[in-house]
Amino acid sequence: MSAAFTYLRLSIGQGRQAQQDLDSRLQALAPRLQADGGRLVGRFTAQLGWAANETAVLLQGIGQESSKAVRELVDAVAVGAAEVTELTPTARPAREGPLVLAPGGIYVHRWFTVETPDLERFVDLSAQAWPDFEGRFDTQIFGLFRASESPAEAAAARTRLLLLTRYADHGVWEASRDPSTEAMQIFAQRQLLTRHTIASSSLLVAR
């Protein structure tokens, strides 16, 4: 399976019916994705940091034909902002093959912007910190993805990355901020390379 990913950030209608409609459309889309070598990795609903009607969808390995189907989906369900971002894995997921997310807990979507020349060092530091981080806390790093660059980002030599992390709950997220741990000391070095960052938490509701 392709290592390419597509991330949809959508504002949909308010209420349970809009969520159910999106999940029905994703279920109907699945055969078209599979026929083109792709799959749904997961859909996420808002916890902290997003509006109540915002959602994210992560897809893997979609080709040209299924890209059209995804565009149709976005046009059908989005009632406000709709962002489609192509992602490439860096240190994780490490191999080609289906990315399988664990149920339960919360998923934090954290975006970073770095100077493009610092990208390799940023990824390196992240990978160094993860073993200590995951060993101390009930967490799993599922991916650190490089986002496709807009012309403006390319001209400014800046790159965005998406870090997708599962925590058992918000309490674990708070505990993991302990600055005395080896992981957080390495993350502090990474922070020096960060030009902008923003995080939001979510629940995995479909995969």
At 187, is the secondary structure helix, strand, or coil?
A: helix
pLDDT in tens, 155-204: 999 999 999 999 999 999 999 999 999 999 999 999 999 999 999 999 99
pLDDT digits 0-9 by tens, 132-168: 999 999 999 999 999 999 999 999 999 999 999 999 9
Domains and CATH numbers, the chain: 5-89 (3.30.70.260), 106-206 (3.30.70.100)
Q: Among candidates 61, 104, 68, which has minimal Cα distance to 86? A: 61
pLDDT digits (tens, 9 = 90+) for 13-51: 999 999 999 999 999 999 999 998 899 999 999 999 999
Report how far residue 192's alpha carbon sits from residue 198's, in angstroms, rounded to the nearest whole number: 15
3-state secondary structure of 138: coil
- Whole-angstrom distance between the N-terminal and C-terminal Cα of the chain? 17
Give the residue carrying structure tokens 């995951």: 134
Task: Identify whether the C-beta of residue 30 lies closer than 8 Å to the C-beta of residue 43.
Answer: no
Q: Side chain identity at 50, as an amino acid letter?
A: W
